[in-house]
């Protein structure tokens, strides 16, 4: 099943527990949700602010907006 998920974050959120920090994915690109796997680096490299994208594998494809 394919999904178009709208996210505007380009990095993870830190959840600091007692011993070690845990990073939660906020960009929607992680292959290990809900944890960050560093995939947000794609968003920072391939995306332009204010444009909408969908991803096929590691490729960002711009979606025409209304």
User: What phi, psi does 21 have (nearest 5°)?
Assistant: -70, 150
Core vs surface per residue 5-39: b (16+ CB within 10 A) or e: eeeeebebeeeeeeeeeebebbbbbbeeeeebeeb
Per-residue pLDDT reduced to its tens digit, 1-29: 345 677 778 888 888 776 888 888 888 88
User: What phi, psi does 41 have (nearest 5°)?
Assistant: -60, -30
Mean pLDDT of all residues in the chain?
81
As a whole number of angstroms, the distance between CA 27 and CA 16 comes to 19
Q: What is the pTM of this model?
A: 0.62
């Amino acid at each position: 099943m394919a999904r178009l998920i709208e996210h505007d974050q380009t990095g993870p959120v830190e959840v600091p527990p007692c011993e070690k920090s845990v990073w939660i994915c906020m960009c929607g690109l992680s292959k290990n949700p809900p944890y960050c796997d560093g995939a947000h680096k794609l968003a920072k490299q391939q995306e332009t602010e204010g444009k909408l994208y969908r991803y096929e594998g590691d490729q960002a494809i711009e979606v025409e907006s209304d």
